[in-house]
Amino acid sequence: MTEAHAALFRPLAVRSLQLRNRIVMSPMTRSHSPGGVPGPDVVEYYRRRAAGGTALIVTEGVAIDHPTAVDNPRVPHMHGHAALEGWRRVVDAVHAEGGRIIPQLWHVGPLWGAMSADVDPDLVPMRPSGVWGKPGVTSYGDDYVARASLPTPAMTEEDIEQVVDAYAGAAANAKAVGFDGVALHGGHGYLLDAFLWEGTNQRDDRWGGDIASRTRFPATVVAAVRTAVGEDLPIFYRFSQHKQQDYEAKIANTPDELKAVLSPLAEAGVDVFDASIRRFDLPAFDGSDLTLAGWAKEVTGALSMAVGSVGIGATLRESRTQGAAPVRDNLPELERRLGSDEFDLIAIGRLHLADPALATTLRSGATLPEFDRTIHEAALI
């Protein structure tokens, strides 16, 4: 193994979580759990990635126990006896292969109805201020944007309390079935992110206002999750600049603003910041080569994880229109940044679909697979 590859295969400890390398399977919605219950095919799907050498699997988004958490009946739940038993089998299979696994707990917030228009019209989406967000560069169709842009009631204090409790309950369930930690989806315009973004949070109470106040709700959720899982299990937190409502939106325009956003989350209990961008190696701010993951680590002192287009020459949005995505030789850049400890983990999504034994492929130096959306994105293999 070369010194460059050695950066990928160093072990890492995060609280009680012991990782055999720095390779993570990124969360990807698969919609293969009818009724919210992961079945034997889901067990095998995750088991194969662990058997292939991947150190940590972050599951697809998993619904917390709240009526508008997710709008797709095939997205798995982290509540209910059948779903939890399904997850127990997943966890046991991954552990048997030497891997580790954490669930990504999810509430879609303002984006309720984006995955399925067939939703209960009596259910009110959870939105900080009752707004979807000002549409910008988005991949959503005009019909959905028009429907979603209609105002709804803002979240009440009771709504906020119920959602916080639902996150804590899901985290406790994850611990009970044997997961090695938990991840929170706090990016892409979903509920936690909607409080951070001024485009969706226009409140004038303690849950809105300046950056520090807009961080209060996600920090409260993190603190509740920390209480639920105790001190041993790590908490990962996905955040992003871009929103699905507008890919050009930002929650922070400078490193100081990013510090104001992320520091309260670290203080509440986040161990690893998962910086979601379309290319892991993009500089985050003018005047510096540091990536978003690099800046997250710099301003908080916490560990960080990068993600985005490893080995692929097209972003996710581009591959959805182009089908096959060309191979991009960006591994030397990944190894340089990971080896210098700019960030601590690398999450890889699409190549894990193309090659369940991706970690073994990387260790051997073999040719990376080509991701083809028409073959790999829909299949549970």
SS (H, E, C) 284-337: CCCCCCCEHHHHHHHHHCCEEEEECCCCECCCHHHHHHHCECCECCCHHHHHHH
pLDDT at 6: 86
Which residues, at least 6 apart from 304, have a Cβ–Cβ distance to it below 8 Å? 272, 273, 274, 275, 293, 294, 296, 297, 343, 344, 345
CATH number for the domain that contains residue 116: 3.20.20.70
pLDDT at 4: 40
Interatomic CA distance for residues 129 and 318, integer angstroms:
32
Q: Is residue 361 part of a domain?
A: yes
| CA 17 to centroid of chain Cα atoms | 18
The tally of domains found in the chain comes to: 1
Question: Length of the chain in residues, anyone?
Answer: 381
pLDDT at 164: 98
Residue written as tokens 């798995």? 76
Whole-model pTM: value is 0.95
Interatomic CA distance for residues 312 and 31, integer angstroms:
24
Q: Is residue 73 part of a domain?
A: yes
288 within 8 A of 317, measured Cβ to Cβ? no
For 194, the enclosing helix (H) or strand (E) is helix 191-196
Interatomic CA distance for residues 364 and 53, integer angstroms:
12
Q: Is residue 135 part of a domain?
A: yes
User: Alpha carbon of 272 to those of 144, 241, 326, 344: distances in Å?
Assistant: 34, 17, 30, 9
pLDDT at 3: 42
For 351, the enclosing helix (H) or strand (E) is helix 350-354
Ranges of residues in the chain with a pLDDT under 50 are 1-4
CA 278, 320, 282 angle in degrees (round to 5)? 15
Q: Which residues are catalytic?
A: 190
Range of the domain at 20: 3-376
Q: Is residue 381 part of a domain?
A: no
**Residue 194 corresponds to which amino acid?**
A
Both tokens of 320, joined, read 């959805």
Interatomic CA distance for residues 140 and 314, integer angstroms:
19
User: Alpha carbon of 37 to those of 42, 48, 76, 214, 377: distances in Å?
Assistant: 9, 19, 5, 34, 20
Q: Is residue 194 part of a domain?
A: yes
Interatomic CA distance for residues 108 and 111, integer angstroms:
5
Interatomic CA distance for residues 343 and 196, integer angstroms:
23
Residue written as tokens 């591994």? 331
